[in-house]
């Protein structure tokens, strides 16, 4: 037998659960982690961007909002995005620990004029 009330209730619940139709209040939470600055940003479309900056190296990851009806700060305290944050911090640390085969700090090249420019001459 068809229950009209439950059918309408399911339709209303589906509309309420569909978070793609909502606009969120943007939020930003910054904290110092592992000698760097971690910034967690909730965008108005529900996307979460996580930035990590350490010693001039910045990397970013994006994640979908996991629990749209929970306060963003509460989600962070519960560790919902910890896997994304951990991968981000590890990647920045990996970059900082790497060394170039070509560029070394102890090798300084002399300054030369740019190609195609005439050298500066002082005529008196």
Domain segments of the chain as ranges: 19-95
Q: Give 109's DSSP letter.
A: P
- The token pair at 59 is 């990397």
Which parts of the chain register pLDDT below 70?
1-22, 105-110, 112-124
SS3 45: coil
Q: What is the pLDDT of residues 9-38, one digit of tens each?
A: 666 555 555 555 667 789 999 999 999 999
Q: Is residue 44 within 8 Å of residue 65, measured between CB atoms?
A: no
**Angle ∠(84,100,87) on CA atoms, nearest 5:** 5
Judge if pTM exceeds 0.75: no
Give, as one character, the DSSP assignment of residue 43: -
Q: What tokens were used for 75?
A: 């989600």
**Cβ 4 vs Cβ 12: under 8 Å:** no
pLDDT of residue 70: 86
């Amino acid at each position: 037998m068809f229950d009209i009330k439950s059918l309408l209730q399911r339709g209303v619940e589906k509309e309420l659960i569909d978070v793609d139709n909502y606009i969120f209040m943007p939020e930003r939470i910054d904290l110092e982690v592992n000698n760097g600055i971690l910034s967690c940003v909730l965008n108005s479309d529900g996307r979460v961007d996580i930035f990590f900056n350490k010693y001039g190296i910045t990397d970013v990851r994006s994640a979908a909002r996991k629990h749209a009806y929970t306060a963003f700060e509460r989600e962070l305290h519960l560790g919902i995005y910890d896997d994304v944050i951990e991968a981000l911090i590890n990647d920045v640390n990996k970059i900082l620990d790497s060394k170039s085969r070509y560029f070394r700090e102890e090798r300084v090249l002399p300054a030369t004029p740019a190609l195609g420019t005439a050298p500066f001459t002082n005529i008196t």
